[in-house]
Amino acid sequence: MKGLSHLLLCVRSSTCARVASNLSQFEKVALGSVSAATSFQTRKMSSQKFQVTKRLQGTEKNVWVDISKMAVENKALNLGQGFPDFMAPADIVNCLKEVVSSSDLMTHQYARSFGLPRLVNALAKIYEPHLGRPVDPMTEVLVTVGAYGSLYCVIQGLVNPGDEVIIIEPFFDCYKPMVTGAGGVPVFVPLRPSKEGTVTSSGDWKLDPEELASKFNEKTKLIIVNTPNNPLGKVFTRDELTMIADLCKKHDVACVADEVYEWMLYDGNKHIKMASLPDMWERTVTIGSAGKTFSVTGWKTGWCVGPKHLVHCAMVVHQNCTYNCPTPIQEAVARGLELEMSRVGSPDSYLTSLSEELRPKRDFLAGQLEAAGMRPVVPEGGYFMLADYSNIKTDVPDGEEAKDFRFVKWLTVNKKLTVIPPSAFYCDEHRHMVENYIRFCFIKEDSTLEKASKILQGFKG
Ligand code: PMP
Ligand code: GLN
């Protein structure tokens, strides 16, 4: 056949035309099919055939894509997507500057697939005291493209078609498409405001223990717990985490603990790692983010930490997906974490000082929202705040879309202020629970928050 394919190529050129007259019957037949193939009719690409795959259908809409685009188009003040609008900390930026100007050739070449050794070592060291156990940097840590990458690898690596995954509402929106994309079945359970009408703190939102227990069954593979929570800012207490952990142990379920806001805590609230609870290490994968930890969301570097048998499943996805992450960023994050470890307990520690920097911003925004007639749900952690806007008089048009989406779009177009509609963090059935709320991001310059305040005060008139 090798000879024939050579011949077929040859016959296409006129210089080889003479060869064709001496062909065997078999070769002529073969050539006949070639000439038929070269005179084919070009078919139009079928719009039926080339749609997004069935497993991704229903996930086309994305709140970040839509709302961020609107903010830009309307030149609105952006308190929507969660990123700081001020310069990243000088120390961490300097780490990257030093790294890129280093003469080490390997700085600019591929890193180890599962994470640069210096970074996985630093991560293991920084987490060990919080987990109360040793962490093997080579088998129990995986570095990914953002915490998104870790969530994707863990979910793809562990969820089989038909497996159920319990998701606590409100949830970071990508959990749902990641679960359905893996063929899994999301099972939603909402945090419910415990003091209807007078909710003032994210701590007032609680799980109903019976409702939660009723979601566990033989098909349950995972539960995703996000503490501090986005968008609510709830910091789960030890009792709440223990209740979830007990259900995991009773039903042999693993926990994905999304803890990207682990360092942002207010009013003495403590972040408790799910993986540090008794017998939970072996069934928990903890997810973190350099973007959140060091206020460098554009560095898009995250990680997961957990027992080898679970992290291995995520590694299998990662090695065939992105394979590795950018070397200079990993090196800089490693140096930043090392610096942090040398500063534990000192006022220079960025991880401690960040919360101190954020708390007055949170309090200012909460005060301004109240003055404008909204009812803020003051967060215990993270850098988002929900506010009930139902007392505000507006001329938001009616429509099919959820009320909070319509309000946010109206606010962006008419008042030039962009926030996030929190029903994006709920399943369709439960969206109505937050249609009277909007989410503000407060990791912003004071001047930005003041501008937002002016817009908000305009509602009073
Ligand atoms: N989890 C939560 C709860 C988040 O809010 C975010 C957004 N930062 C992520 C994961 C993704 O983080 P990253 O930007 O590191 O991908
Ligand atoms: N986690 C951030 C937020 O909730 C960013 C989301 C994103 O970039 N998709 O705003």
Q: From the CB of 170, is ligand 1 less than 6 Å away?
A: no
- Amino acid identity for residue 236 in this structure: F
Cα angle: 418, vertex 420, 426; to 5 degrees: 165
Helix H or strand E encompassing 73 = helix 63-73
What tens digit of pLDDT does each residue of 261-276 get? 999 999 999 999 999 9
Q: Which of 23, 96, 29 is nearest to 333 (CA)?
A: 96
DSSP letter, residue 166: E
Does residue 35 surpass a pLDDT of 90? no
What pLDDT is recorded for position 56?
94
The Å distance, Cα 174 to ligand 1 centre, comes to 9
Q: What proportion of the chain, given as a percentage, has pLDDT over 90?
A: 87
Report the atom number in ligand 1 closest to the C-alpha of 229.
3
Residue with tokens 């709920």: 426
Which ligand lies nearest to the CA atom of residue 422 in the structure?
2
Mean pLDDT of 58-83: 97
- What average pLDDT does the chain have? 92
* Confidence band of 459 (pLDDT split at 50, 70, 90): confident
What CA–CA distance (Å, rounded) separates 461 from 373? 11
Mean pLDDT of 151-166: 98
What tens digit of pLDDT does each residue of 86-145 get? 999 999 999 999 999 999 999 999 999 999 999 999 999 999 999 999 999 999 999 999
Whether 214 and 158 have beta carbons less than 8 Å apart is answered as no
DSSP letter, residue 14: G
Beta strands 384-388 and 437-441 are: antiparallel
CA 30 to chain centre: 54
What pLDDT is recorded for position 393?
85
Whether 405 and 422 have beta carbons less than 8 Å apart is answered as no
Cα angle: 191, vertex 195, 198; to 5 degrees: 120
| DSSP alpha helix (H) spans, 2-145 | 2-11, 17-20, 25-38, 63-73, 90-100, 117-131
Structure tokens of 334? 């490693």
* Confidence band of 6 (pLDDT split at 50, 70, 90): very low
| DSSP alpha helix (H) spans, 320-349 | 327-341
What pLDDT is recorded for position 395?
86
Whether 256 and 275 have beta carbons less than 8 Å apart is answered as no
pTM: 0.91
Q: Which string of DSSP letters, residue by residue, matches 400-455?
A: SS-HHHHHHHHIIIII-EE-B-GGGGS-GGGGGGGTTEEEEE--S-HHHHHHHHHH
**50 CB burial (10 A radius; 0-12, 13-18, 19+):** exposed
What tens digit of pLDDT does each residue of 419-440 get? 999 999 999 999 999 999 999 9
What CA–CA distance (Å, rounded) separates 420 from 442? 12
What pLDDT is recorded for position 5?
42
Report the atom number in ligand 2 closest to the C-alpha of 292.
1
What pLDDT is recorded for position 19?
46
Q: Angle of helix 117-131 relative to helix 327-341, nearest 10 degrees?
A: 40
Whether 391 and 375 have beta carbons less than 8 Å apart is answered as yes
Whether 134 and 386 have beta carbons less than 8 Å apart is answered as no
DSSP letter, residue 305: E
Q: Whose CA is nearest to atom 3 of ligand 2?
A: 82
Which ligand lies nearest to the CA atom of residue 65 in the structure?
2
* Confidence band of 218 (pLDDT split at 50, 70, 90): very high
Whether 112 and 121 have beta carbons less than 8 Å apart is answered as no
Q: From the CB of 230, is ligand 2 less than 6 Å away?
A: yes
What CA–CA distance (Å, rounded) separates 441 from 374? 16
Structure tokens of 113? 């697939």
Report the atom number in ligand 2 closest to the C-alpha of 172.
4
Among 27-41, 293-307, 399-413, name the one with the lowest average pLDDT.
27-41
DSSP letter, residue 10: H
3 state SS of 226: strand
What pLDDT is recorded for position 31?
52
What CA–CA distance (Å, rounded) separates 275 from 452? 39
Does residue 13 surpass a pLDDT of 50? no
